[in-house]
Amino acid sequence: MKQVAANMAGTVINVLVQPGDEITEGQDVLVLESMKMEVPVQAQASGKVVEVKANIGDFVNDGDIIVVLE
């Protein structure tokens, strides 16, 4: 199963994909904010989104799985 992991620790300020979306590698799926910086998280693989594990306002750590792909 393919997944997308957070590339840094921070607060989720925007979720750009939802279950059912077809996403391609490199596409922005989420925007995190940490230490005064907004950083988009890019998909590390292509596929259909099965589950988005993060909501706006959640705090995620570096490496946490945030999107599960089919």
Partner 1 sequence: MNKVLIANRGEIARRIIRTCKARGVATVAVYSDADKDLPFVREADESVHIGPPPVPHSYLNVEAILAAAKSTGADAIHPGYGLLSENEAFARRVLEEGLLFIGPTPEVIGQMGDKLTARRIMEAAGVPVVPGCEQAIDSPDEAAVIAMSIGYPVMLKASAGGGGIGMHICRDEAELRQAYQSAKGRAKAYFGNDAMYLEKYVERPHHIEVQVVADQHGNVIHLLERECSIQRRHQKVLEESPSPFLDTATRELLCDAAVTAAKAVGYSGVGTVEFIVDEQKNFYFLEMNTRLQVEHPVTEEMTGIDLVSLQLDIADGHPLSIKQEDVKALRHAIELRVYAEDPVTFLPSPGTITLYQPPAFEDVRIDDGVETGTQVTPFYDPMIAKVIVSAATREEAVYQAQKAMDHFLITGIKTNIPFLKEVLQDEQFLAGNYTTWFVTERGAASSNEKR
Name which of 19 and 40 has its Cβ closer to partner 1. Answer: 40
Name which of 21 and 33 has its Cβ closer to partner 1. Answer: 33
Query: Total residues at the site for partner 1 (CB under 8 A)?
Result: 13
Two structure tokens written together for 60: 């995620």
| CA 25 – CA 44 distance, rounded (Å) | 5
Cβ at position 1, least distance to partner 1 in Å: 25
Cβ at position 39, least distance to partner 1 in Å: 6
